[in-house]
Structure 1
Amino acid sequence: MTEQTLQGKTILIAGGGKNLGGLIARQAAAAGADIAVHYNSEPTRPEAEGTLAAVEASGSKGVLLTGDLTKPANVERLFDDAVSALGPIDIAVNTTGKVLRKPIAETTEDEYDAMFDINAKAAYFFIKEAGKHLADNGKIVTIVTALLAAFTDGYSTYAGGKSPVEHFTRAAAKEYADRGISVTAIAPGPMDTPFFYGQETPERVEFHKSQGMGNRLTRIEDIAPIVRFLATEGSWITGQTIFANGGYTTR
């Protein structure tokens, strides 16, 4: 991919301050895009500021935005603020999520609600506002999980909360098609980030590694290029979930 591929484009990245979102932001800025970097709360602000500094150091424009995306009004405000700061949005990427590994018998109602709020509700309204705000021929990408194709224990609310996004993606792909907007989801395997390790024992980490090609976890560097491809040459792909996990699982 040439460094001019994203020249003149504007990208909004939910959860764009760190980990996968941060890498997507940095790479897209290096490819010429202006970036709206969203972060959730004050504890993650320093990392988001670091990402913003990298965006601006590459010569692109950037803006830092915050908000709890489980509240639809905040999602609407996020897009409005991004447009106000940078102009029309061409590409919207949602990397946000929350993970919980817990048996169904021990899961509380509050935990269930929190998991579905961030993994399903926030994703739904992100896709909704993206459809309202994106320029024609825009791109919408949501990060989901390879667990959508797994048969396992412990992750009922995480996999369950992410699974509706496939249906949101397919519906939006049809509803936005007349404007040339592609809508896709990417399902990574367990990723080598702090998001993953807090839920697992060392033994289970080794098992997850053993299921992937090269006996390793998915890396953020494996996924960011797929986002760029879907946002550029791969925009004919729409309504799909792409399982990018080194052979960890499929269906």
Structure 2
Amino acid sequence: MNTPAIHRVALVTGGSGGIGRVVAERLARDGFAVAVQYAGNRAKAEETVAAINAAGGRALAVGGDVADEDAMSTVFDTVRSAFGGIDVVVNTAGIMILAPVETLDLADLDRMHRTNIRGTFVVNQQAARTVRPGGAVVNFSTSVVRTQLPTYGAYVASKAAVEAMTLVLARELRGRDITVNAVAPGPTATPLFLQGKDEETVDRFAKATPLERLGRPEDIAETVAFLAGPARWINGQVIYANGGLA
């Protein structure tokens, strides 16, 4: 039995859980071969790969720290060797630590800077060197860049940097037929968002949108799939996928 030709290939960082896993599964349904990058949770990444393969897709897990340029160079080389190239890079990997600016431990600031800013830069650098014409790079920001909630200062600072580098890279890739955009989710029911929040707080976030619910990972994955596929005229933009949150 002949193996079907792989036409498009996606690499999803942070694909072992939360939004990343749902994005990986969504792109696989669109016919992408998907590489699921993980930093420390290999078992979860393998679960995502198994789910994609069981549904008739094709996937593999690749480990490496997004902020380590050598590790990510190896990840990109591994994906190209396995699937023949890379067309779409979705960078969902990120960490969030909340505290007022006045009291935030600067070690936590450095951790977020390393993963959210340096990690995004390293992944984007590799993507700029690797993604084939007709491809896309999708980074992740947050709607809190607009809503400016207390305790989110350091996290928002890291994501504002992601937005800035996204818009610059889109222009640097002029003439290459590669789009570069960012998705900025609103409150979304993921372990990262729900951690440490009581029911009253979660309800307040849900009521803040005109749709009066939290976002679902599937809502965000649909936005990514649009940017990764048919949305060839959307470039150098930040898409606020937040249900109408101001």
Structure 1 runs (4+) greater than 6 angstroms displaced:
none
Residue in 2 that maps onto 1:8: 7
2:240 and 2:29 mapped to 1: Cα distance? Answer: 26
- Secondary structure of the structure 1 residue equivalent to 2:133: strand
Residue in 1 that maps onto 2:155: 158
Pick which of 71-80 and 159-168 moved more: 71-80
2:235 and 2:110 mapped to 1: Cα distance? Answer: 29
Does the 8 Å contact 2:140/2:162 carry over to 1? no
Residue in 1 that maps onto 2:99: 102
2:116 and 2:68 mapped to 1: Cα distance? Answer: 12
Q: Once the two structures are superposed, what CA deviation does each residue of 1:21-65 show, in whole Å capped at 9, x if it has no partner?
A: 111111221221111111110xx2222111101221233322110
- Secondary structure of the structure 1 residue equivalent to 2:36: strand
TM-score by length of 2: 0.93
Overall identity of the aligned pairs, in %:
33
Stretches of structure 1 lacking an aligned partner (at least 5 in a row): 1-6
Residue in 1 that maps onto 2:3: none
1:100 and 1:216 mapped to 2: Cα distance? Answer: 23
Residue in 2 that maps onto 1:120: 117
Residue in 1 that maps onto 2:209: 212
TM-score by length of 1: 0.92
Q: How many residues align?
A: 241
Q: Once the two structures are superposed, what CA deviation does each residue of 1:173-222 show, in whole Å capped at 9, x if it has no partner?
A: 01112110000000010110111111433332222111113321111111
2:189 and 2:149 mapped to 1: Cα distance? Answer: 19
- Secondary structure of the structure 1 residue equivalent to 2:53: helix
Among 123, 126, 140, the alignment partner of 2:137 is 140
Aligned CA-pair RMSD: 1.4
Residue in 1 that maps onto 2:24: 25
1:221 and 1:122 mapped to 2: Cα distance? Answer: 24
Stretches of structure 2 lacking an aligned partner (at least 5 in a row): 1-5
Offset at residue 235 of structure 1 (A): 1.9
